[in-house]
Amino acid sequence: MTFSPLLRVMRIIPALPRSLVGRVFTVFSLTLLLSMGTGLGLFYRYQFLQHIEETQDTALTLVEVATQTIEDSVVIGDYDTVKRTLGKMLFQSPFKRAEFIDVGGGTIRVDAPRVTRALAPRWLTARIAAKLYDVNRIANVGGKDYGVVRLQFDEEKLAAQVWSLVLETAGVAFVVFVASLVLMRTLVRRWLDNLGRLRSFEHDVAAGRVTAEAALLADAPTEIQEAIRAVNRSAASLRDQFGQRIDSLMNSLMQHKSAMDQAAIVCEADAAGAITGVNDLFVTSSGFTRPDVVGQRLADVGRPAGARLPWQPSDRVWNGEVVIAGRHGRRHWYRTIVPMFAAPGTVERYICIDIDITERKEFERTIVENAQRQTLIAELGRKALAANGLDDLFADAADAAARGLGAACAALFETGPDGMRVRAGAGRLAQSTGLQLAGPHGDAHVAAHGTDAALRPWFAPLAALHGIDTGIDTAIVCGERTFGLLGVYAARPRRFGADDANFLHGVANIVATAVERQEARNRLTYLAQYDPLTSLPNRRRLAHSLEDAIAAAARAQGRAAVMFIDLDRFKNVNDMLGHGIGDQLLVQAAKRLSACARADDVVARLGGDEFALVLPALDDDGIAAGIGARVIEALAQPFYLAGQQLFVSASVGIATYPENGRDAETLLKNADTAMYGAKNGGRNNYQFYVAEMHENATQRLQTETQLRQALERGEFLLHYQPKLDLATGTISGFEALLRWNHPQRGLVPPLEFIAILEDTGLILPVGEWVIGEVCRQLKAWQAQGMAVRPVAINLSARQLQQADLAGAVERIVARAGVDPALLEFELTESMLMANPEAAVEILARIKALGMRLSVDDFGTGYSSLAYLKRFPLDALKIDRTFVRDLPDDPDDAAITKAVIRLAHSLSLKVVAEGVENVDQLRELEQYGCDQIQGYYVSRPVPAQACEALLAGTAMA
């Protein structure tokens, strides 16, 4: 074992008491005990050895004295004296036995009386016994030994004496030891009491007495004084530091509190959950006053949202949404209640922090609501696209409107002439579908309704019946017209917002679109069978009617007919008065046709100015002829349009079943052909179909085709008819007349192709060719050195309507390099009067180019003298019909004279057409006519013959 004693001591240290007093006391006691023990031990040892030595010496002295005393007695054998002397030696001696052993072996023995003594420990007795030895002294008298005196120590007595000494000194030492300890403990306690005062200093600090100082006793040891002063100094220093820190913390705390008061709604409740105070934001946000809420249970101010249980005082933090029914309405707060502990497990109060999330909740609610509404709108839109009828869609729309606004009921009303009709209802109004409300009608009454307006007066009966308090509605607007209303109604007072109105508007728009689509579909169906302008059946429907009529006639073995009606020269109406007037005329013509028809007849518009009449159950042709005549008569009556009187005749073709065809298509085609026959027959008449007509029509088609190529092929040519000046007897000019030199047929009469040129519009390019050709001819004549005369060119009505007639004329004449004064244009009276204002303008432009102008066929139309004056004319041509019977017909003579006078009064030259004999010439000469034209002067001749004509008249 290698433990050193020091280590052993060190191991004892942890076993020492924990308190300083205990430790000091223990160490002091041990030290004192050790030093006293050591001192006493050394003292005892010394005393013990001293005592043994002294006792031994005393015994030797005693035995010496006793031996001397008894030597005489021994010599004499006075043994009593010996005995007495031995006895005396034992009195109060440390011996227990004294003996005199004579040389003969006799022994005188005296034992000390046995006294009861305090017992000493055996070891002490043994130890003393080991140290002392018996004392022997030879009694020698005179050199003779008489015996030996022996003393035996009483070791017990000696041990008792020593032990008694030990006990006495140990007792004294113990008393001193105890007294020392008491004194030491008292003093150490007193001194350490100063440290104990630190605890009360600590309590003071803990109790918030931050200025407290640890007190000191006057006699406190220097070290403790130093230590406590150091503590006080540290405390003061810490106080200073913490004071500043606390100030800054307090400041920061106040700022935090202020910020918290600004940002959050805060209230405090006591441990029982009763509100003890609220901040300003609480008051402003909830609308409650402090007296309203202070003292209330916190659990009663704000109901937890959802199915959560109300807050109960607890030592746990509580979070959750609450709804406050405050003075400003329902508010949503996010609440956190934090318990404040006075001691662990003991709640002192609660801090409740609320964040107002009303806007966020409202926003969330709006988003959810809008999403739901979008879904409803999308769903309704999908249904609207798929819907075949409107009734189901109306019901879906009312349902969607009520659901979208979370209302008790909704209804969709249609405005009608008698008021409002419930087309569909949802909720309480579902049963009201079909109900007619005697209310207003028309757009003005169903204009958009405000969000919080009162119920409409006409809705009052339904409101009363179903307990409806308030509502919102919006108009269902289809294009320009209001179809009806979509209304949503609530049983309790409610304010509808702009979002509600927008949603309702969205639903109404879908309904409006569906209604428009349905109407468009209906219209398409209608348009597939009816003519939108006149509302008459169209070509397709006519075909069905005709097929039905044919089938019925076939069954009855009877007859039927179809009439093809085409207005004459309708194009002119359009061109001159505009399409709008043309339309009006078509509408009126349709009405007139319908008036002509019998009950079972079907009047249809085939397109353009073409109409048809199906005549079923036709007994004989006379009926068809009668209706044809009625139609001609009806359409020949003047039309009054745009403040003027218009005359439009019609050409009618009739085809009958079964003679002219057994199917609808053939019959209609043949009626068309018959109509062309009527056109060719001078228009304004009706004709029954005959087989030749088909050939005529084919012929006309052929001619039309050939005419289209005639210009390119150079088949047109001009003949010139001279005009004779009656005053000079010379040729004053020519009229250029168009001729068609057909490769097979030779020269085709103008009557056979001019009309076709006009009908087909070919007259425009051909007309320009005529002007160019006249210019070319004039130049050729001039080149030949001929004294050229002005040449008149006929303008057709189509040319007059040409966009830039004057411009075209100017370009052609300029290109040819002809003197414009050599050109004259003839226009018919009816052409000028069809649109006199336009004619005035065109004529003025041509006149400005330096060309002459004259009116052809004067007297056959209806000239207005006022216009005649405004036209920049040079001459009038009296129509041949007035000249033909001169001089015999007095009426013609009178008219001719009047025309000549009129012309002269307007400073116009007069040319009489169709003069065929000298009588007519003389008569006209008498009337003062300026020029004549006709066979009497010359037939129209080719250009090369003109020179001879000029030479001839010059000679005459």
Ligand X SMILES: Nc1nc2c(ncn2[C@@H]2O[C@H](COP(=O)(O)OP(=O)(O)OP(=O)(O)O)[C@@H](O)[C@H]2O)c(=O)[nH]1
Binding site for ligand X (CB under 6 A): 533, 566-571, 574, 579, 582-583, 586, 608-609, 679, 759
The DSSP secondary-structure symbol of 417 reads: T
Closest approach, Cβ 869 to ligand X, in A, equals 30
Q: Is 393 exposed, middle or buried (0-12, 13-18, 19+ CB in 10 A)?
A: buried
Closest approach, Cβ 660 to ligand X, in A, equals 21
Closest approach, Cβ 890 to ligand X, in A, equals 36
d(CA 64, CA 60): 6
Q: Give the pair of three-digit tokens for residue 229.
A: 């002063």
Which is closer to ligand X, CB of 505 or CB of 569?
569
Asked whether the beta carbons of 418 and 487 are under 8 A apart, the reply is: no
Which is closer to ligand X, CB of 801 or CB of 854?
801
Q: Is 402 helix (H, G, I), strand (E, B) or coil?
A: helix
Closest approach, Cβ 569 to ligand X, in A, equals 5
Asked whether the beta carbons of 329 and 302 are under 8 A apart, the reply is: no
Which backbone phi and psi does 705 adopt, to 5 degrees?
Answer: -65, -45
Helices (DSSP H) in 77-143: which residue ranges?
79-90, 122-131
Asked whether the beta carbons of 36 and 44 are under 8 A apart, the reply is: no
Which is closer to ligand X, CB of 680 or CB of 860?
680
Q: Is 493 helix (H, G, I), strand (E, B) or coil?
A: coil
Closest approach, Cβ 800 to ligand X, in A, equals 14
Nearest to 153 by CA among 97, 108, 86, 114: 97
Closest approach, Cβ 606 to ligand X, in A, equals 10
Which is closer to ligand X, CB of 114 or CB of 579?
579
Q: Is 605 exposed, middle or buried (0-12, 13-18, 19+ CB in 10 A)?
A: buried
Which is closer to ligand X, CB of 197 or CB of 571?
571
Which is closer to ligand X, CB of 194 or CB of 802?
802
The strand pairing partners of 702, in sequence order, are none
Nearest to 419 by CA among 446, 448, 394: 446
Closest approach, Cβ 826 to ligand X, in A, equals 22
* Element housing 243 (H / E): helix 222-263
Instruction: Supply the DSSP string of 128-173, one letter for each residue.
Output: HHHH---EEEEEEETTEEEEEEEEEE-HHHHHHHHHHHHHHHHHHH
The strand pairing partners of 413, in sequence order, are 422, 485
The residue number with the shortest CB distance to ligand X is: 582
Which is closer to ligand X, CB of 573 or CB of 876?
573
Which is closer to ligand X, CB of 509 or CB of 696?
696
Instruction: Supply the DSSP string of 262-274, one letter for each residue.
Output: HHSEEEEEETTSB
Closest approach, Cβ 759 to ligand X, in A, equals 5
The residue behind tokens 């008292």 is 186
Compute CA 566 distance to the chain's CA centroid, rounded to the nearest angstrom.
59
Which is closer to ligand X, CB of 682 or CB of 952?
682
d(CA 138, CA 756): 211
Which is closer to ligand X, CB of 378 or CB of 533?
533
Q: Is 4 helix (H, G, I), strand (E, B) or coil?
A: coil
Closest approach, Cβ 516 to ligand X, in A, equals 25
The number of residues in the chain equals 956
Which is closer to ligand X, CB of 121 or CB of 681?
681
Closest approach, Cβ 755 to ligand X, in A, equals 8
Q: Give the pair of three-digit tokens for residue 926.
A: 């008498």
End-to-end alpha-carbon separation of the chain, Å? 187
Closest approach, Cβ 849 to ligand X, in A, equals 29
Which is closer to ligand X, CB of 535 or CB of 864?
535
Compute CA 818 distance to the chain's CA centroid, rounded to the nearest angstrom.
76
Closest approach, Cβ 495 to ligand X, in A, equals 55
Closest approach, Cβ 805 to ligand X, in A, equals 19
Which is closer to ligand X, CB of 571 or CB of 877?
571
Q: Which residues contact 58 (CB under 8 A, 6 or more apart)?
A: 93, 94
Q: Give the pair of three-digit tokens for residue 670.
A: 């043949």
CA angle 132, 138, 142 (to 5 degrees): 155
Report the half-sphere exposure of 392 (CA within 13 A, side-chain side): 10
Which is closer to ligand X, CB of 428 or CB of 571?
571
Asked whether the beta carbons of 893 and 928 are under 8 A apart, the reply is: no
Which is closer to ligand X, CB of 243 or CB of 532?
532
Distances (CA, A) of 173 to 39, 41, 165, 184, 378: 10, 12, 12, 16, 115
Nearest to 511 by CA among 391, 389, 382, 394: 394
Which is closer to ligand X, CB of 574 or CB of 931?
574
Which is closer to ligand X, CB of 160 or CB of 585?
585
Closest approach, Cβ 644 to ligand X, in A, equals 16
**In three state form, how does the secondary structure of 387-420 look?**
CCCHHHHHHHHHHHHHHHCCCCEEEEEEEECCEE
* Element housing 482 (H / E): strand 481-490
Which backbone phi and psi does 397 adopt, to 5 degrees?
Answer: -65, -45
Closest approach, Cβ 541 to ligand X, in A, equals 17
Closest approach, Cβ 650 to ligand X, in A, equals 9
* Element housing 527 (H / E): helix 498-527
Closest approach, Cβ 802 to ligand X, in A, equals 15
Asked whether the beta carbons of 394 and 423 are under 8 A apart, the reply is: yes
d(CA 308, CA 318): 11
The strand pairing partners of 827, in sequence order, are 855
Which is closer to ligand X, CB of 651 or CB of 933?
651
